[in-house]
Chains A and B, each alone.
Chain A
Amino acid sequence: MEEKLTLFKNRKRFGVEKNIDIIFKNTALVFSSFVSIILLGIILVVFFQSFESFSRYGLKFLVTSEWNPVKDEYGAFTAIYGTLVTSFLSLLITIPLGVGTAIFITEDFVPKVFREIIGSFVELLAAIPSVVLGLWAIFVMEPFFRAFFVFLHNFFGWIPLFSTEPTGRNSLLAILILVVMLLPIVTSIARDSLNQVPKKLRNAAYGIGASRWKTIFSVILPAALSGIMAGVLLALGRAMGETMAVTMIIGNSNAFSWSLLSPGYTISSMLANQFGEADGSQVSSLFYAAFVLMILSLVVNIFAQLLVRKFSLKY
């Protein structure tokens, strides 16, 4: 009888075990704080490295496009303009394409197998390294589109955007390769938010006699809008920071031009091109440009996070 009772006595934990438990917890705590330490570290390091250039050029850096290491004159306007133009225009093409694809794979136009295949094809596209896309853009896309660019210039040359003679690599090609990279992001997020729209909304719309596309445009898309917007913002952040494919195809020229058919520059391609062999005040100016890029993408990302948090619990 007594023997059995001892089985149910409270088990005492040894000091060692308690200590291991505490150590384990605190290690996990430290590891999880690494994220914020790294994030803060990145911001501080890039800011302090750019300080020299920042104090010398101030905000003038953002609006002048002189980049001359010999004369020590730096301005990143061409790169900033290039970053904004390539990312916004590529997004403009990607949004209808991605949302259209997402609608196609969430509706039941074709059997589920095909929709799943299309969905996973688009997602696999996201796994292709950007440097490989750049290689493909140089050797396949550029020759393929050359005739089209010449056509654009000949017929729409009066528009400033197409005013220069196309010669090989240019900003428009960078925009097209960005579309390929953003498509998976927009499509998969749009698909997820379309899938989250409750079925009863759709059934109610059908019930009062709305046609399928009336339902999609007036009920489903508005209900999924916030999720799609968040996806678009994430894609925007991605487009601004995208480096390799853009660097390889944009032509890397700091001469400012309104035309999309002339070589351009983005902040990230400027960094990729010049960082390795820069010295002196050029390094500081590059850090300044990196700081601008980081602020741009941080703002877009934080905005996307807030949007997701604000609207995710609606249904």
Chain B
Amino acid sequence: MNSLYYQKRLSRNIGDKFFTSLSLICALIAILPLIFLVTYILIKGGSQITPELFTLEPNPPGDDLDAGGINPALIGTLIITSIASIIAIPVGVGGGIYLAEYSKGGAFSRFIRFGVNVLAGVPSIIAGVFIYALIVSTKILFGSMYSGLAGGMALSILMLPTVIKTTDEGLKLVPNELRYASLGVGASMYTTILKVTLPSAFRSIATGVVLSIARAAGETAPLIFTALFSYYYITGFGDLFYEMGSLAVLIYNFALEPYDAQNKLAWAASFILVLSILSVNIFSRILAAFTEKTKRV
């Protein structure tokens, strides 16, 4: 007898239940790593945080009693990421402006957009290999080999595609009426872009750029043979041309040390790195949700 009521034992309904639970299990498995990872880092890394951590130099491995602090690596990460930003943001925003504002969707812009996507897919270690061949091994930077500057350049290659993409997409969302209005009152193209379109796309571009900076701060592969690592305080401008430590490389080096003290330092560094990267991400997410809400009203 066929009834119109929902029948639990019908094979299609059993099958539906089965697949629904399967997808629930997938979703649960998918969120487990983040939960485990973050709690472990918070507990294990958080317990290592002391004031000295931020002020001391790390001790070379072997000295098992006291590993010291991560001051040079922390400052190094800030410097290297800033160098990468100084290179990648103007170039990326400029390139994005050209794609969104000047190019008329012709072959050139299609080619560049294609290139942006391909460059975004280039493995990060290849960027390191490239800078090694171009700058480190040729000693082109005033005779210095491994340097913070070279590390920053390698990171900027990874940031560039993201910055171009966010600028391009942010500017494309600006309504054309704004451009027409500005050009109509006699503004030149560059005034229109700098005073009208860029400011109105500012928030989405800034979010994308900040996220790409956060991403770059955690990158390790491009740094391990461009910036290398250093145990010593960064004291002046000249240190840019020498080996420079960073949190990411410190984690890599010290995780592979057999000494407990160095391992703990690696956990402390991950705590700081993960905490700052996650808070940037969460903050930008909230900001994006907020702007979306205000737009809808």
Selected contact of B98 from candidates A31, A107, A130, A213, CB within 8 Å: A31
- A241 at the binding interface (Cβ < 8 Å): yes
Which of the four size classes fits the interface of chain B? 35 or more
Are B121 and A118 in contact (CB-based, < 8 A)? Answer: no
What mask results when residues 110 to 146 of chain A are scored 1 for a CB within 8 Å of chain B, else 0? 0000000010111011011111111110111000000
The reply to whether the CB of A297 lies closer than 8 angstroms to some CB of chain B is yes
Contact partners of B34 in chain A: CB under 8 A: 121-122, 124-125, 128
Within 8 A of A (CB), among B1-55: 12-13, 15-16, 19-20, 22-27, 29-31, 33-37, 40-41
Is residue B220 within 8 Å, beta carbon to beta carbon, of the partner chain?
yes
Beta-carbon contact of A243 and B124 below 8 Å: yes
CA distance A106 to B24 in the complex (A): 12
Bound complex: CA of A78 vs CA of B59, how far in Å? 36
Please tell me which one of the listed residues A34, A45, A118 contacts residue B133 in the complex, with CB atoms under 8 A apart.
A45
Interface members, chain B 277-294 (any A CB < 8 Å):
277-278, 281-282, 285
Docked-complex contact B188 and A13, CB < 8 angstroms: yes
Chain B residue nearest in CB terms to A42: B130
Tell me if B57 counts as interface (CB < 8 A to partner A).
no
Query: Is B270 within 8 A of A127, CB to CB?
Result: no
In Å, the complex CA distance between A268 and B128 comes to 11
Interface residues of chain B: helix, strand, loop or mixed (majority): helix
Q: How far is the CB of A31 from chain B (nearest CB, A)?
A: 3
Partner of A140, one of B24, B40, B103: B40
A46 & B121 in contact (Cβ 8 Å cutoff): no
Q: How far is the CA of A44 from the CA of B95 in the complex (A)?
A: 22
* Number of chain A residues close to chain B: CB under 8 A: 90
Find out whether the CB atom of A132 lies under 8 angstroms from the CB atom of B41. yes
B130 touches A271 (CB 8 A): no
Chain B residues, Cβ within 8 Å of A38: 119, 157, 160
Number of A-B contacts (CB under 8 A): 266
Given contacts A35-B119, A134-B252, is CB(A276)–CB(B228) below 8 Å?
Answer: yes
Report if B214 contacts A (CB, 8 A).
yes
Interface contact A97-B30, CB-CB below 8 Å: yes
- Smallest CB–CB gap between A89 and chain B, Å? 17
B129 interface residue, CB < 8 Å from A?
A: yes
Pick the residue among B35, B41, B277 that contacts A127 (CB under 8 A). Answer: B277
With contacts A31-B90, A42-B126, A127-B281 taken as known, whether A214 is within 8 angstroms of B252 at the C-beta atoms is no
Q: Does B263 contact A (CB under 8 A)?
A: yes
Q: Is the CB of A103 within 8 A of B23?
A: yes
Q: Which residues of A contact B202 (CB under 8 A)?
A: none
Contact between chains at B30 and A101 (CB < 8 Å) = yes
Query: Which candidate, A19-27, A65-73, A200-208, is the interface stretch facing chain B?
Result: A19-27
Looking across the interface, which residue of chain B has its beta carbon closest to that of A186? B30
Residue in A21, A100, A128 whose CB lies within 8 Å of B189: A21
Q: Does A55 contact B (CB under 8 A)?
A: no
Select from chain A the residue with minimum beta-carbon distance to B117: A305
B31 and A100: CB pair below 8 A?
Answer: no
- Contact indicator B281/A124 (Cβ below 8 Å): yes
Cβ 8 A contact of A35, one of B95, B121, B251, B266: B95
Give A278-303 as 1s and 0s: 1 = Cβ < 8 Å from B's Cβ atoms: 00000100110010011001101110
Interchain CB contact (< 8 A) of A241 among B125, B193, B274: B125
Q: A124-B278, A276-B228 are in contact. Are A287 and B24 (CB under 8 A)?
A: no
Please name all residues of chain B whose beta carbon is closer than 8 Å to the beta carbon of A128 when the two chains form the complex: 34, 37, 218, 274, 277-278
B123 touches A240 (CB 8 A): yes
A105 to B225, CA, bound (A): 41
Q: Is the CB of A287 within 8 A of B221?
A: no
Query: Who on chain A is nearest to B97 by CB?
Result: A28
Q: How far is the CB of B29 from chain A (nearest CB, A)?
A: 6
Q: Is the CB of A17 within 8 A of B188?
A: yes
Give complex CA distance A305, B161 in Å.
15
**A25 vs B191: C-alpha distance in the bound complex, in angstroms?**
11
Chain A residues with Cβ below 8 Å from B133 are 45-46, 49, 287
Cα A297 to Cα B218 with chains together (Å): 22
Evaluate whether A132 and B190 lie within 8 angstroms (CB atoms) in the complex, with A101-B27, A275-B225, A297-B123 already known. Answer: no
Contact B26 A101 (CB under 8 A): yes
User: Taking A21-B189, A135-B251, A272-B224 as contacts, is the C-beta distance between A32 and B22 under 8 angstroms?
Assistant: no
Determine the distance from Cα of A41 to Cα of B130 in the docked complex, in whole angstroms. Answer: 8
Interfacial chain B residues near A290, Cβ < 8 Å: 125-126, 129
Nearest Cβ distance between residue A199 and chain B, in whole angstroms?
19
Residues of A contacting B205 in the complex (Cβ-Cβ under 8 angstroms): none
Q: Are B221 and A29 in contact (CB under 8 A)?
A: no
Q: Check B121 against A237 for contact (C-beta < 8 Å).
A: yes
Binds A, one of B61-69, B107-115, B172-180, B233-241: B107-115
Does B161 contact A129, Cβ atoms closer than 8 Å? no
Identify the B interface with A (CB < 8 A): 12-13, 15-16, 19-20, 22-27, 29-31, 33-37, 40-41, 90-92, 94-99, 101-103, 109, 111-112, 114-119, 121-130, 132-134, 137, 157, 160-161, 164, 186, 188-190, 193, 214-215, 217-221, 224-225, 228, 248, 251-252, 255-256, 263, 266-267, 270, 273-274, 277-278, 281-282, 285
Give the 5 A-B CB pairs with smallest separation, nearest first: A241-B123, A129-B218, A100-B26, A31-B94, A32-B95
- A sample of 16 inter-chain contacts (CB < 8 A) reads A28-B94, A36-B115, A38-B157, A98-B26, A101-B23, A101-B27, A122-B31, A127-B278, A132-B273, A237-B121, A241-B124, A244-B221, A268-B123, A272-B125, A276-B224, A290-B125
Give me 9 other A-B pairs in contact (C-beta within 8 A), A32-B96, A38-B157, A211-B15 excluded.
A18-B188, A24-B189, A28-B97, A32-B94, A41-B130, A109-B20, A127-B214, A271-B125, A294-B123
